[in-house]
Each structure stands twice: as structure tokens, then as C-alpha cells.
Amino acid sequence: MPSTPPPVDDVLAALAEQFGDLPSSVFRGQTRVVVPESSSHEVLSLLKERGFDLLVDISCVDYLDYREPPMEMAACAGHRYGLVYLLASTVTNQRLTIRVFVDDPEPTVQSVVSLWKAANWLEREVWDLFGICFAGHPDLRRLVMPEEFTAHPLRKDYPLQGRGERHNFPVITRHES
Amino acid sequence: MSIAPPRFESVEIPEAATRSEDYLWTLNFGPQHPATHTTLRLVLKLEGERVVDALPEMGYLHSGFEKIGEHLTYNQYVTVTDRMNYISPMANNVAWHHAVETLLGIELTPRCKVIRTIIAELARISDHLLCNGAVGLDTGAFTFFLYAFYQREVIYDIFETLCGARFTNSYTRVGGLSQDMTPLVIEKIRSFVKTFPKTIDDMERLLTRNRIFVDRTKGVGVLSTEEAISRGATGPVARASGVTRDLRRDEPYLAYADYDFQICCAAAGDCYARYLVRMQEMRESLKIVAQAVENLPEGPINVGIDQRTALPTKQQVYSTIEGTISHFELSMSNRGFEVPCEESYAAIEAPNGELGFYLAGDGNETAYRARCRPPSVLHYALFPHLIRGHTLSDVVAVLGSLNIIAAELDR
């Protein structure tokens, strides 16, 4: 029958041992750890070894016009993009959220496709919609937007109504097909 | 950064064609094809009838739901979630407001929890009916599909009686529901609980031991346990591969902790196992519905006025000052919810797998970011792995057994 998953304290301790003090907080029972971009791949591979075998999601938040520091943590203030790695364990059912902050002009993080194959399309989607480059990704193409598209539409400086890209879509007529 | 041209994950050239790739030819499948059900596109590399590699393409139905989520209020956006997985919109409604209530820290009333459990399970049954029905249809069992679809109609009828909409229900609200469950709805659910097992028996008799169907699906599209976890599969697809993960048991939300039900798993990981898992899950869902509808708690469906999220009843609006104030404030654009400047993720076990929303609140009545974690994306990414080495006719069987809904895939 259902039992609450064990706390993730030992995992946090193991992270602190190897990477020093990483800022973390808990909200509604969810533990978030902020990891510097330079060591994100090492942290995630350590977490995978420690039992977080399921990569639930990779997404991103653009904090361009966010008034407060993200997640009310001073350590995250001033950054533009906050990547979200949602990890879970299929054995213990623990969950852990890893946040990695990156900035313009060339937001780049290490790809984690080598750790979880699920990251392949998730990273492509983040690249497509936010323009965050994943170094080491085997096939970094747009996922949902057409290939000719030049903008990254989920960035906050991209308007809801679009900028008339629709007129620039290539059209194949019956005559030339 | 320039965009790299599309390329196949691993084209292993068959021995017969080592001198050149002359024997390989490329077939475009979709985006408009009856067996893709929606707008999916596959580029298949074929050697004769054998699929050497496949390149799934998506985005033909991309409508920017996540961008819209940053511009609609928490209550308005539920109409958009209907249109994500339109096979089971109720489950999406429940998932969205489960995430919103997690962010806001709202504890639902017992009656609301049970009603949401019932509709989520009915949605699961209707989703599995369509998925399995379509697998049957794609592999040539048309009658089976009609049996399945007739029961979906019964569930539509229940939903229509419940909230007035058959298809796009938009039934949940922050902190409650749009309507209470009437005795007529309860009566209809009871009669569904009575009649449905007979249909499911008929369906199993039609297909489960059908030689043609078994030959078409057994051993096709095998997904191992390790691959299922590594590739992020969830829901029936993962459970058919031996991953015993079900959020209803592992992270009990709503009222699931109170009910007695089994988690259905299989070890084979092929299309046939996915079919069996879905068949069995319908029976388990029906068990949950039967238990829930007989133990429906009395009481309000919405949280109290003090929570300031759900609209008060007309009785409260007309006879109490708190009700009047709350009603006005919730209808005004600059009042309403108090949302923390925080972020949270909450997921439910949707029919297709883990459906979660990552929400970032910034104090406004619209979400700052509303990320949807759709199970279909990760399942569609599985496709090349599953189809390699099988024949062209297996493409539809594998595609059907993954139950990819393009509206949820592309959002």
C-alpha cells in the first residue's frame, strides 16, 4: 500500500560532499537544488547513479520580466533562463528538481542525452522554444516549430500574437511540386 | 547557431545493400493518413517491406498552448487543456487544476476529491477504449472498434449529464468543480458500472485470443524495462514493459489512497502486452468507479469562501456579505487569487502516462509559465526504437499501441 517516499536528505548530503554547498529549498514538499551550469552534467550523472533513473521532464522558464528572484531564492536572482530538470526514482518514488540558470548572449548547457535517452526530444523542444543550446546533443533540431523559423517563441520578449512569420512560410504550389 | 539537417538515429545498412544504398527507399507516412489518426508524420527507410529506420516528425498541430497558458487565467486555461488530449479531456482538466491547487496550496473538499477521481477514471476507460479499439481497427478488427466506441458514447452521455458538454468538458475549477454530481448522473454511472463488464468480456472474447490479432501484435515493437525507463516511458506503455510505476499508488493524489485496486503490469513489452495492460486497467478503473460512486461523501464541492478561489454559491452571494465580496472580487480582473511567487510541479496518472504541469506563479492571476509534461512526446520518441526491423504493416500496430495524440504531442 502507498507509503510516502523517503526524504532526499542523503542525496543532498552526497551532492554537498562532492560539489560544495548548493542552494536548495523546499516548496510544497518538493526539493529544488540550484546547480551551476559548469557542473550540471556531473551533478545529474551523480543523481542518476544514486537512483534517479527516470528523467520526467526538461523545461525552462524565461525570467525576463519576473519581478522577484525566482522561487524566492536570492541565489537565483538576476539570471534570465532557468532550466528545470525533473527527476524521479522508479524504485523509491522520490522526486528531485534540479535548476540550472543560464544567460544571454549564448545560453548553453551540457546535454544529458548520454545519461537519459528521454532527454533527446525534451532538449530539442527547449532549444526550439527558448533557444538554449545543449552542447553535445546528437541531433539538435527544432521539434515543434518549422525548420525555417528563426525566433524562439516561448521567450518572454516574443509576443503572443507573433510577428507575422506566417507570411514567410515557404509555400509549395501545385505547379512547382 | 545554424540548424543541422535532419538525420536518422542509426541507419544500419543491410548486408544485401552494402555496395550502395540502392535497395533502401524512403517512404513518407502521414501527416494525413487514416492510421496516424491525427497529424503525425513518419519518414521511413525501407528495405523491401522491412523498416530499417524511422524518423518521426511532429509539430503539424502546434498551437502554442504553453504560450497561451501565460496569458489566460488559471480558470480560463482549463478550456485549453480539454484540447490537449481530446480523447480524455476530463483527465486533463483534473491534471491542470491539480497542478494549480498544488501551487496555491489548496486542500479540496472530500466530495470534490471523490468526484474528480470518478471522472478521471471514466476518462481513463474512454481513453483505453479508443486506444485499444483503434489498435483493433488498424490491424483489421473493425467490429471490435465498434464495440469499444459504443461504450465511449455511454461515457460521453454521463459527462454530458454531468456538465453539459460531451467532448470538451472544462469541468474543474480552481478549488472545486463547475457543477455538482446530480442523482441522475450517479444513476447513469451505476448502470454503466453494471453493463460495462459484459462489453469488456465481449471485447476480450473477440480479440484477446484472436489468431490474426495475436500474430500481428505479439513480439512486435518490444520495449525492454531498461529502455522504457531510460526513454522516459510512463503509463501503460511503461507498465507493459515491467515498470511498476503508477502515480495513483506511488504518489496517491485525490482519493486514490482510499480505494482497492491493482496496478496492471506485463513483462513482454510488445504491442500485445500494451493491449492487455489497457484491457485490464479498464477493469481496475471500473472497480475504482464502483467503490467511489457508492461512497460519495456529502458536503460542498468547492472550497470555502475564505480560500478565495472558487465562486461562492448563489445562496451565499445573496445572503452573506462575505459571499458578495468574494463573488465580486473573483470577477474583477485585478483581484482574485493570491498566487505565491513560487514554482511547483504536480502530475497525475493520466490514461496515457504521467501528465504533469510545471507552474511558475508570479503573484498574478495568470501563470508566469505553464509547462505541460505530455506523455505522448516521450512515447513518440520511442517509435524508431520500436519499429526497427519490423515490417511496414507493423507501423500502424506499433503507432496505435503507443496511443499518440497529436494535439497533446504538439500542444
Are B369 and A62 a contacting pair at CB < 8 A?
yes
Domain count, chain B: 2
Domain boundary among B7, B25, B57: B57
Classify residue B24: in a domain, yes or no: yes
Helix then strand then coil, % of chain B, to nearest 5: 50, 10, 40
What's the pLDDT at A1?
A: 46
Q: Which of A150, A134, A53 is nearest to B230 (CA)?
A: A53
Pair B355, B344: CB distance under 8 Å: no
Q: For residue B371, which residues of chain A lie inside 8 Å, CB to CB? A: 57, 59, 61, 84
- B373: domain CATH number is 1.10.645.10
Q: What is the DSSP string of A79-111?
A: -SEEEEEEEE-TTT--EEEEEEEE-SSS-EEE-
Classify residue B235: in a domain, yes or no: yes
Nearest residue on chain A to B70, alpha-carbon basis: A160
**Residue of B371, B402, B409 to mutate for A, most A C-beta atoms under 10 A:** B371
Q: Is residue B99 located within the same domain as residue B47?
A: no
Compute and round to an integer the Cα radius of gyration of chain A: 19
Task: Specify the 3-state DSSP secondary structure of B358.
Answer: strand
Q: Is residue B53 located within the same domain as residue B106?
A: no
Classify residue B4: in a domain, yes or no: no
The three cell numbers of residue B162 are: 454531468
Q: Is the pTM of this model over 0.90?
A: no
How long is chain B?
411
Are B1 and A133 a contacting pair at CB < 8 A?
yes
Q: How many helices (H) and strands (E) does chain A have?
A: 3, 7
Pair B102, B194: CB distance under 8 Å: no
What's the pLDDT at B286?
A: 92
The three cell numbers of residue B262 are: 491493482
Classify residue B378: in a domain, yes or no: yes
Classify residue B174: in a domain, yes or no: yes
Nearest residue on chain B to A84, alpha-carbon basis: B358
Please state, in angstroms and rounded to a whole number, the distance separating the CA atoms of residues B190 and B345. Answer: 34
Are B102 and A145 a contacting pair at CB < 8 A?
no
* Domains defined along chain A, listed by start: 9-168 (3.30.460.80)
Q: What is the pLDDT of residues A48-107, one digit of tens each?
A: 888 888 999 999 999 888 887 777 777 777 888 999 999 999 888 888 999 999 988 888
Are A154 and B67 a contacting pair at CB < 8 A?
yes
Distances B54 to B20, B28, B38, B406 between C-alpha atoms, Å? 19, 10, 18, 18
Q: Is residue B403 located within the same domain as residue B268?
A: yes
Q: What is the pLDDT of residues B179-194, one digit of tens each?
A: 888 899 999 999 999 9
Are A84 and B358 a contacting pair at CB < 8 A?
yes
**Residue of B354, B378, B386, B411 to mutate for A, most A C-beta atoms under 10 A:** B378
Q: Is residue B157 located within the same domain as residue B278?
A: yes
A-B CB pairs within 8 A amount to: 130
- Please count the other Cβ atoms lying within 10 Å of the Cβ belonging to residue B393: 14
Helix then strand then coil, % of chain A, to nearest 5: 25, 25, 50
Q: Which of B145, B146, B74 is nearest to B103 (CA)?
A: B74
Classify residue B321: in a domain, yes or no: no
Nearest residue on chain A to B410, alpha-carbon basis: A144
Classify residue B83: in a domain, yes or no: yes
Q: For residue B340, which residues of chain A lie inside 8 Å, CB to CB? A: 72
Q: Is residue B371 located within the same domain as residue B344?
A: yes
Nearest residue on chain A to B238, alpha-carbon basis: A90
Sign of CA dihedral A19, A75, B338, A57: negative
Q: Is residue B179 located within the same domain as residue B251?
A: yes
Please state, in angstroms and rounded to a whole number, the distance separating the CA atoms of residues A26 and B42. Answer: 42
Domain boundary among B41, B57, B73: B57
Classify residue B185: in a domain, yes or no: yes
Q: Is residue B163 located within the same domain as residue B211?
A: yes
Q: Is residue B120 located within the same domain as residue B259?
A: yes
Q: Is residue B228 located within the same domain as residue B117?
A: yes
Q: Is residue B116 located within the same domain as residue B22?
A: no
Distances B117 to B144, B293, B300 between C-alpha atoms, Å? 28, 10, 16
Q: What is the mean pLDDT of chain A?
A: 85
Distances A173 to A82, A150, A167, A170 between C-alpha atoms, Å? 42, 23, 15, 10
Q: Is residue B182 located within the same domain as residue B37?
A: no
Please state, in angstroms and rounded to a whole number, the distance separating the CA atoms of residues B109 and B175. Answer: 8
What is the rounded average pLDDT of the residues B104-125?
91
Does residue B35 carry a pLDDT above 80? no
Please state, in angstroms and rounded to a whole number, the distance separating the CA atoms of residues B64 and B71. Answer: 11
Are B378 and A118 a contacting pair at CB < 8 A?
yes
| Higher-scoring residue by pLDDT: B179, B38 | B179
Q: Is residue B131 located within the same domain as residue B275?
A: yes
Which candidate from B66, B340, B341 shows the least CB-CB separation from A154?
A: B66
Q: What is the pLDDT of residues B213-223, one digit of tens each?
A: 898 888 888 88
Q: For residue A66, which residues of chain B lie inside 8 Å, CB to CB? A: 360, 362, 368
ipTM of the modeled complex: 0.88
Pair A19, A39: CB distance under 8 Å: yes
Does residue B14 carry a pLDDT above 70? no
What's the pLDDT at B34?
A: 74
Domain containing B50 equals: 15-57
